[in-house]
Amino acid sequence: MKLKCIILFLITSISFCVQSQTLVCGDFSTGTIVWGDSVETNPVTSYGGTGTNKVAEVDYDKNLDQTVSGFLVGQQYILTFQCSRRTNGSPPSSTDVNIRINYNSLNVYLVKVNSTFNFQTYSYTFTANASTLNLRISSGVLTGSSTKGTIFDNIIIYKPVPLPVELSSFTLKPFENNAVLLEWETFTEINNDYFTLEKSINGTEWNVVKIIDGGGDSFSIQDYSCIDTDPYLGTSYYRLRQTDFNSDYSYSEIISYTKENDEDYLIYPNPSRDHLLNIKNRDTDFQSIFVYSLLNQLVFESENVINDTIDLSNLSSGIYTVLIKKKNGNCLERRISLL
């Protein structure tokens, strides 16, 4: 039984990581000249996103191709990247992403088809079998009549380095008043001074949300949490920076949260005299609706309500919170008044 618990502990532990300086121009800030193919780079607004940072578009007949050096043979490395389906200028209806290292196909990721431009972060762990490896990223299967491909940004290769803090989880979920609740847990801590929760709108430039004291030296489970009261409209990226008492620091994995555009959803009339609410939305990809009282009690729940009316006549007059939950886990929150 003891051996089983130790094995489970090792499988579920997530260690902090230190980035390796092996891959060049993963954020495309200076174009794609080092990638060895004529891949187009433009500001993200050219492809349906927001912001002026440069990103790369990989069409069906192109590759992001770079020879990367500095690997230790037999050691594990992690490749991470952000990608999105192009959503303007004759976009494909869906596309795959094909990853090859040293010309051997490692995996294929299906890019989710979103109604709006939305970067998602993917990662893949591999073992280096040579000190210099070729990395090739290409669009796989395109559907629709378009030959346009996938948009990429922030491609990184780093080597996991076990550090004194063993992070067992780092998660987020929607909170009241359109906030985000971030929670993390550690198994052990040695010389841990503090955590810095950081937020980014593009995965490159980071801002401090809050600094949280660490546990110093601890050999029992420690739970932490922090609320971001003002996530970005669109996608917010979060990471933890862990700092030791000797000022050494390391970063956690990156997780993301998407705040929906309020204009995509209408809940009316508000206030409502007959306690009937009309739900109108442009995006039909949502799962369920929840209504909470001011005491945070669930008073109504319904699934698959699309452009319909919900009857709240059994509820007393007052202020309530309507939470619309999408299939991808993202939520939209609205405050309503029943007269």
| pLDDT higher than 70, residue 45 | yes
What is the model's pLDDT at position 44?
Answer: 87
What's the CA angle centered on 268, arms 265 and 270, to 5 degrees?
120
> Is 299's pLDDT higher than 70?
yes
Q: Is pLDDT at 330 greater than 60 in this prediction? A: yes
Residue 33 main-chain phi, psi, to 5 deg? -60, -30
- Mean pLDDT check: name the lowest of 79-83, 160-164, 214-218, 319-323: 160-164
In the block, which residue shows the tokens 């001011």?
294
Q: Identify the CATH class of 262-338.
A: mainly beta
Tell whether the model's pLDDT for residue 49 goes beyond 70.
yes
DSSP string, 135-159: EEEEEEEEESS----EEEEEEEEEE
Q: DSSP string covering 180-218, please? A: EEEEEEEEEEEEEEEEEEEEESSSSS-EEEEEEEEEEEE
Is the model more confident about 23 or about 38?
23
The per-residue pLDDT of the chain, averaged, comes to 77
pLDDT of res. 222: 87
Residue with tokens 């007949």, as numbered in its chain: 61
Inter-CA distances, 220 with 74, 166, 206, 223, Å: 33, 11, 31, 10
- Provide the residue ranges of all domains of the chain, joining segments of one domain with +: 17-160, 166-259, 262-338
User: Mind listing the pLDDT tens digit for each residue in 2-26?
Assistant: 333 322 333 333 344 444 446 888 8
The answer for residues whose C-beta is within 8 angstroms of residue 178's C-beta and 6 or more apart is 231, 259, 333
Residue 320 identity = Y
113 pLDDT band (50/70/90 cuts)?
low
Dihedral angle computed from the Cα positions of residues 310, 315, 321 and 324, in that order, rounded to the nearest 10 degrees: -20
The listed range with the strongest mean pLDDT (78-92, 131-145, 270-284) is 78-92
Taking residues 204-217, report their average pLDDT: 88
Same fold flag, 17-160 and 262-338: no
Looking at per-residue confidence, does 339 or 331 come out higher?
A: 339
pLDDT at 238 exceeding the cut of 70: yes
CATH homologous superfamily of 17-160 equals Galactose-binding domain-like (2.60.120.260)
Give the CATH number of domain 166-259. Answer: 2.60.40.10
Tokens of 151: 């948009």
Confidence of residue 224 (pLDDT cuts 50, 70, 90): very high
Rounded to an integer, the average pLDDT of 196-202 is 88
- pLDDT top residue among 144 and 6: 144
Strand pairing of 255-259 and 308-311? unpaired
Q: What is the pLDDT of residues 266-288, one digit of tens each?
A: 777 778 889 888 877 655 566 67
Where does the pLDDT of residue 104 fall: very low under 50, low under 70, confident under 90, or very high at 90 and above?
low
